[in-house]
Chains A and B, each alone.
Chain A
Amino acid sequence: MKPDSRILTALALIAGLLFLSPALYSIFMSFQTVDAYYTGKFEFTFENYALAIGQYNFARYLLNSIIVAGLVTLIALTVSTLAAFAFARFRFPGGNLLFAAVVATLMIPSHISLIPNYLTLAKVGLLDTYAGLILPAISNGFAAFFLRQYIRGIPVALDEAAYMDGATPLKVLWRVIVPIARPAIFAMGLFIFISEWNSYIWPLVAVGEEELYTLQIGLARLYRVNPGEDVINWPLVMAASTITILPVLLGFVFVERHLVRGITMGAVK
């Protein structure tokens, strides 16, 4: 390595750390006692995490977030892969129109459905349920559009060979298409999981019961319970905030490349 490239690397590292310093400092602060924080000293403690997880119910919010984001990802990937396969491989009357209807959802701002979806779910008694949090989030055509583009790049000869062997369409999808499209499906899954994990306005609308709060709602409430900054327990809030970002933070280290590729593909297509 040339010396000047080593300097560049160090500079890049410093610039990166500086950029992330607000987030890094918030994690540091979460290990500090309140008294030490307000007197400008440092005292290491896990107390804030114990408090957040126990008394402030963040264990429950974490569980809710995992359940909701996990199920949304699973269901959305399943229905989107099925639809993408049909749009990529079958020509059928009305197919183009249906595909256009799917793609058009990319243009439709989700806020138009906020009030009607709230009313629909209220009518069928699904407010304050996991189903109420999950179902409206499936209504997004991006994954189907993205996967359809990807599947069209897979040679049809592979499908035909499988059909010759007597495979059903579902078997072709499962045995031929899905294994080849795995990187795209994986990238899409990450994308869906992260956006669902971070989603805020719909859980805010659909859930009033504290037991069903996701991390985002729990954190916003914890912060807002007492935003008078003289009395707010910042270290506690930062512990809660760290719990909220941790899964994505940890996962990010492993999947950054996939994620960047997925997002770039989505934008360039």
Chain B
Amino acid sequence: MEPCASGALFPMLSRLTPYLLVLPLISFIVVFTYIPIAASLNLSFREWDFLSPTMPFVGLENYRLLFSSHEFWNALRVTVIFAVISVPIRLGLALLIASYLVREALPARVLRGALFLPSVTSTVSIAVVFSWLFATDYGMVNAFLQTLGLGKVPWLQDPQLALWVLVIVNTWKQLGYDIVIYIAGLQAIPQELYDAAAVDGGGKARVFRRVTVPLVMPTTYFLLVVSVIEAFQIFTVVDVMTQGGPAGATDMLVNMLYRVGFTLFDIGQGSALAVVLFALLIALALFKARVLGRRVHYEA
């Protein structure tokens, strides 16, 4: 499939053509993605505050400090808890709603549009709006609770509750995306299987448990891994709503990375954290590649 005419006329040019075509993209990727990986690794072995003229090599000192700091283990713990709470809630709700939407034609389109909208909306706006919603004194949630005769709840000031608010915001934002992916997965299930299940008898709940859930498993695996990877990179909502507070109760890994790197300007420590986060996420991504590999096999 060599382009024949120009290949015959300008053999040299023809051989260079594909390289010239990929050159712009490859340059961007090398300069802003691949070199930075090497640079982060290098910086993580050095001590630097962004200003001093030298950056002495300190070996594994940055990693030792990181792994012995309460801050890191707290951020890792909070991030893992956030992922463990929010991902199952998101996927469970999304599958239930998607399995309803996939069968209804017109109402589904209206509802799908509404549910999908937050996932393309500015995260900062959403975080600001929910900050107001959950504000202690003039927020809508507390106003509602008060009409029920209940007291004000300090949602974002309570270390126990703040993380749950972040889970709610994240679910509200991402649910539509999960639903759209689930709908695509559900549409791939042959109708005959539902018909067969109906013939065998059994309520909607039974069909859902015995047919829908197992057959949509490949989509669930995909969403599971994608949303765990995403949960590990959460930053914006936290930065706007709580900045990691109160008392570190919502401090996630990327928020710590931003703080160490760009407010404390501890470049070495920040890079070590970036490398650790990178290793974690690459491990998850490779796991995803394996799982998706199995999925292809499963469908074939």
Contacts and interface: CB of A to CB of B under 8 A. Distances in A.
Interface of A: 5, 8-9, 11-13, 15-17, 19-20, 22-23, 25-26, 38, 78-80, 82-83, 85-87, 89-92, 95, 98, 101-102, 105, 107-109, 111-120, 135-136, 138-139, 141, 144, 156, 159-160, 163-164, 166-169, 172, 194, 197-198, 200-201, 204-205, 215-216, 219-220, 223-224, 227, 229-230, 234, 237-238, 241, 244-245, 248-249, 252, 256, 259-260, 263-264, 267-268
Given A16-B113, A135-B32, A138-B32, 8 more contacts: A9-B107, A13-B111, A78-B24, A101-B29, A113-B33, A163-B6, A230-B137, A245-B121
Contact of A229 (B18, B29, B135, B239): B135
A15 B93 CA distance: 14
A107 B282 contact: yes
Contacts of A86: 17-19, 21-22
Given A86-B21, A112-B277, A237 B128 contact: yes
B63 interface: no
A241 to B, nearest CB: 4
Nearest to A26: B129
The 7 closest A-B pairs by CB, nearest first: A16-B114, A12-B107, A113-B36, A116-B36, A139-B32, A86-B21, A90-B18
A169 B274 contact: no
A223 B22 contact: no
A95 to B, nearest CB: 6
A83 B140 contact: no
A112 B232 CA distance: 13
A144 B278 contact: no
Instruction: Name the residue in B128, B240, B275 with the highest tally of chain A Cβ atoms < 10 Å from its Cβ.
Output: B128
Instruction: Name the residue in A113, A160, A252 with the highest tally of chain B Cβ atoms < 10 Å from its Cβ.
Output: A113
Given A85-B21, A116-B36, A111 B274 contact: yes
Interface stretch (B69-77, B80-88, B177-185, B207-215): B177-185
B39 A119 contact: yes
B258 interface: yes
Nearest to B255: A201
A47 B26 CA distance: 48
A82 B104 contact: no
A107 to B, nearest CB: 4
A105 B18 contact: no
Given A12-B107, A113-B36, A216 B124 contact: yes
Interface in B131-189: 131-133, 135-140, 172, 177, 180-181, 184
B18 A113 contact: no
A171 to B, nearest CB: 10
Contact of B236 (A79, A172, A201): A201
Interface string B1-24: 111111000000001011101101
A112 B273 CA distance: 9
10 contacts: A79-B25, A82-B24, A101-B29, A112-B277, A112-B278, A120-B35, A229-B139, A234-B132, A252-B117, A268-B184
A101 B125 contact: no
Main secondary structure of the interface of B (DSSP, over half): helix
A256 B114 CA distance: 10
Nearest to A224: B240
Interface of B: 1-6, 15, 17-19, 21-22, 24-26, 28-29, 31-37, 39-40, 43, 50, 104, 106-108, 110-118, 120-133, 135-140, 172, 177, 180-181, 184, 222, 226, 229, 233, 235-236, 239-240, 254, 257-258, 261-262, 267, 270-271, 274-275, 277-278, 281-282, 285-286, 289
Given A15-B111, A109-B277, A159-B3, A234 B106 contact: no
Given A115-B261, A116-B40, A256-B116, A200 B124 contact: yes
A116 to B, nearest CB: 4
A223 B257 CA distance: 22
A198 B123 contact: yes
Contacts of B261: 114-115, 118
B25 A102 contact: yes
Contacts of B136: 229
A119 B19 CA distance: 29
Contacts of A120: 31-32, 35-36, 39
B128 A163 contact: no
A78 to B, nearest CB: 8
B89 to A, nearest CB: 15
A101 to B, nearest CB: 7
A114 B278 CA distance: 12
Nearest to A218: B124
A89 B21 CA distance: 11
B124 A163 contact: no
A19 B129 contact: no
